Structure 1
């Protein structure tokens, strides 16, 4: 039972925008009043003329359970004895205009299965976690200097029973986790599992911010999924959508008859591109709502991080809008100043609560210092998606190789800014849907060349500075683009090319996990240098990746044409013997077998600004990884 003094203090913080655990106060909670067990309800609805709690328990008759208005700031309270877990309910709100509206609980912890829209009572604290070892390990981990590779996952289309009939979170845990673990990924990133009315919004248009979607089971079923991931050494990141919400009647839109969660100014509120509404980031109670929601998922579900969707749409008033659909800010700029301050405040709060989590921004512009701390002027995230690298590389790799020499800058330009942020290299669901084709099917050439291009692209991605994210299905060469209502084409694994691609990806991932040079200095200039960035005529680049130990250095040579070159000279920084430890052109991966099986001895003649060079075979549409295995002193 909450003490009156506690409620008063928490409400003060709530209205100041500083109540980080507002979900413990607002919403529906098991409680005891006058010796009777039941559920306590609290709601923020300052414009409402009256609020009733309705559900099956009172035949949806609001007169049975009216709420009491506790404060002038619009906090409403009610207690209903004998209510139990699983009770369906809504709020019946009398608006200032005399209309009755039925609304789901903004702080509801569970929801009915769509198309039904009511909230469902559900306690927060009945699940027993078994991931203590993982949580302790996370506290000691330096995430910037460890391998991070993320499997982007949409549960309903990974595998389903039939159209719009899904497995449960627990069943998905039993199927997904062994697959992801075998692939060697460090994390799973889930497309939003916050409650949403329309399957094909994939969760990005939310109505229930505190409810794990009932499509796949209960909130504790989802906790089980996270728990099992952790017990198997896999972190879990959730796509989170604080930028906007959908307009469905039972949701947040004009919640108490007036604009409450959204801006009152319709130019600021409307997102015409998506048909949604923007949160009022300057309103203190909305700040408490959103910050509490982020902390809710991190604390109550032990999530390891949030990927914050559509950050650019928060930062810019004109994002996705035509002339006349937006207005300049008070200083004559196009930045949403309230959103900028909110993002900083949000990240400060989250890292004060837990400094070991990931806050990843999907930010598609050149806004500076996105992944820098707020005390030096940054937005306070610790990672940013590298959308520039993604766009350049996809444009490049989709070209016929004969044209690539004219666009060589697309594979080199990213290194001009690679260390300006802590970057994640993303090939996400957005790039393999809506007619954009799958990653494999983007590739030019015949059937063999498509797979060779895919292998080369993935190897270049894994060798490039930055953490990695790939959409599910890439691991075996999904040929069709992502079909959000159907499951992945697992039957393709019956064909050699796709089975070989899966084997290739596993070994590439293993190479990445085993080689500190590929991740230890991801965000430091010392971790990378070009050997030759300028051979545009042959579309060949070579570079080195370093770790803190000099003998971990890797030389990477990439050929983006189908030509083979023998006795090709590559500069190397150190004298000694080099071995090709991995190549995407190996025959067991489906390649042509133009490998360097013998030792490559350095020649003491400068080349490509290096003191030594080797002569090697450059395979077609392939990437080779070389490592110095001995020095002249060791050879003697």
Structure 2
């Protein structure tokens, strides 16, 4: 990487179009006049003086004063080595002295320390060329996308309670993900953060991969191993806010710098965090460089952008008395919207097949429309309404569910105006919300597991890509605890072991069937079957692929078996059961359709032909169309 900023680089930085600012800001090992050392550069335009303080000078920076040009302070210190601890000693206009970590540090000290560490990101020999070559040809909207969301600090723990390292996860986690049929992992938390129990949403080191689990090169190995096994890597990315820790970005040079000056715009009252100033060009350069940094340096395949709703409005989570408006009189954060559009345009210009996912609970239109058409420019949006509606339904007893089936079918019947990901994420597993299994109603444990099987099968069959949080795949009962490992010991119980077997089988079935993902966002990829009449607890629909691959999905959300049930179909073909969540191997009651069903010329559900099948209780059955021979 280059180090000293050129006048052109600084011009672009201040213009908000410097998208590799990490190449010259921060600390960089280099050689000058045959002498090795470290070049430091930091943006602090309001400081009276900035010095470099560290382990090499007894944390007294007076002998290592930096010089300033155009708001950026620089200094080359000879003979410093990789691994040197440092901070910036910032003297404010009021002669106060702050010790600040480097906003562009590539590595940070393990807690409780907060120093930045001089770190080289070179030296790793990547072996994921095949993955990168294949990825350039992918059209992800027409590919299977089944994401396993992982909190690295609590997926597993060692016997002494210690964390698994990136290297250990590269072996054990990657094997597990491949075995269970997931296509991607989404990792949290990756950027350095202040607490071990953090979910990663209060960041102190945007360019520092967290040191809790190892070094930058060890994290590269984890990503590399994922790619070598055909697994994509997505990271949680947090441009909506940052924490107020004294060593971090907050009032960096004595006054608001990265955050809005107006506290009404610059603070999240509930979260207790600062909001980035999206109207400041240098903040654009910082954040967009950061997004690209993880792709450039660590080969990350995509970003799940957290808390997008809070970036779209000036009054997120504010009381009526605190509400403010923009210059046009509306409540939209016009600068936040413009930033997101710019972010996505830049990302896709460099990485056309990147995954950019908005975690957005708003009704803002066009989240996945291109920015040039007025959209935000993401290629995916989390469908949180799907999550909330389905789980609210599944929590209810059979008596309470009566008449509420439209909660399930709303997402099928409404026009699909976004490219959705259907998430059952960490938010649905954490206290006090209970795990997915903990949310399921049922008169006994069998019904609870059956409810979870039919729900997960419904998720897989529903148009849209999928996300499942760790532990859900084996039916963890307790709330997720970010300070402890998942409850792997429950797999000694046959019910949990059978449920894990079910999820694994369903995942692999999903990957193998183009009808379940190839036309996720095309009208011809889905056809509802009598969705207006769900009083019997049945939700039925068809899924199709490009080459006439066709499946019929039947989900029974009630505990009654339906024998001799007639389903309308369009053509005289055979229909064979290819998946059944009630299979005894999965812990079900074993009600299956053993023989293929030949369509009869018997009109039903507005179709000229029909088949007669058995539908098991609290179960999903998938039938595949087979053309009749002869």
Bin of the TM-score, shorter chain as denominator length:
over 0.9
1:547 to 545, 548, 563: 545
Runs of 4+ deviating beyond 6 Å: none
Alignment of 1:120-135 (within 5 A): 120-135=117-132
SS class of match (1:517): helix
1:363 corresponds to: 360
Deviates more, 1:319-328 or 1:169-178: 319-328
2:536 to 526, 533, 538: 538
Counterparts of 1:214 and 1:25 in 2: how far apart (Å)? Answer: 22
RMSD of aligned residue pairs (Cα, Å) = 1.2
* 1:525 paired to 2:523: yes
* 1:574 paired to 2:560: no
Contact map agreement 2:167 2:222 (CA 8 A) in 1: yes
SS class of match (1:59): coil
1:263 corresponds to: 260
Which deviations, in whole Å up to 9, do the C-alpha atoms of 1:560-582 show, x marking residues without a partner? 00011110111112212211111
2:458 corresponds to: 460
2:436 corresponds to: 439
1:35, distance to aligned residue in structure 2 (A) = 2.4
1:596 corresponds to: 593
1:176 corresponds to: 173
1:240 corresponds to: 237
* 1:199 paired to 2:199: no
2:185 to 185, 188, 191: 188
Which deviations, in whole Å up to 9, do the C-alpha atoms of 1:224-281 show, x marking residues without a partner? 1000000011000000000000000000000000000000000001101111000000
Alignment of 1:253-332 (within 5 A): 253-332=250-329
Counterparts of 1:247 and 1:602 in 2: how far apart (Å)? Answer: 65
1:488 to 486, 489, 503: 486
1:44, distance to aligned residue in structure 2 (A) = 0.3
Contact map agreement 1:534 1:541 (CA 8 A) in 2: no
Which deviations, in whole Å up to 9, do the C-alpha atoms of 1:149-183 show, x marking residues without a partner? 00000011001125762121111111100000000
Deviates more, 1:397-406 or 1:450-459: 397-406
Counterparts of 1:513 and 1:613 in 2: how far apart (Å)? Answer: 28
Alignment of 1:617-632 (within 5 A): 617-631=614-628
Counterparts of 1:254 and 1:325 in 2: how far apart (Å)? Answer: 22
Contact map agreement 1:163 1:485 (CA 8 A) in 2: no
Counterparts of 1:405 and 1:187 in 2: how far apart (Å)? Answer: 37
1:211 corresponds to: 208
Contact map agreement 1:402 1:561 (CA 8 A) in 2: no
Q: TM-score, normalization: structure 2?
A: 0.98
Which deviations, in whole Å up to 9, do the C-alpha atoms of 1:522-556 show, x marking residues without a partner? 01111001112133321111110011112x10011
* 1:14 paired to 2:25: no
Q: TM-score, normalization: structure 1?
A: 0.97
Contact map agreement 2:474 2:499 (CA 8 A) in 1: yes
Deviates more, 1:572-581 or 1:240-249: 572-581
Which deviations, in whole Å up to 9, do the C-alpha atoms of 1:478-510 show, x marking residues without a partner? 111111101011111111111101110111011
SS class of match (1:529): strand
Counterparts of 1:163 and 1:207 in 2: how far apart (Å)? Answer: 27
1:224 corresponds to: 221
2:404 corresponds to: 407
Alignment of 1:493-508 (within 5 A): 493-508=491-506
Contact map agreement 1:433 1:482 (CA 8 A) in 2: yes
1:41 corresponds to: 40
Alignment of 1:461-476 (within 5 A): 461-476=459-474
Contact map agreement 2:474 2:491 (CA 8 A) in 1: yes
Counterparts of 1:402 and 1:548 in 2: how far apart (Å)? Answer: 41
Counterparts of 2:361 and 2:3 in 1: how far apart (Å)? Answer: 46
* 1:394 paired to 2:391: yes
Counterparts of 2:572 and 2:175 in 1: how far apart (Å)? Answer: 43
Counterparts of 1:423 and 1:447 in 2: how far apart (Å)? Answer: 32
Counterparts of 1:142 and 1:579 in 2: how far apart (Å)? Answer: 30
Counterparts of 1:618 and 1:415 in 2: how far apart (Å)? Answer: 21
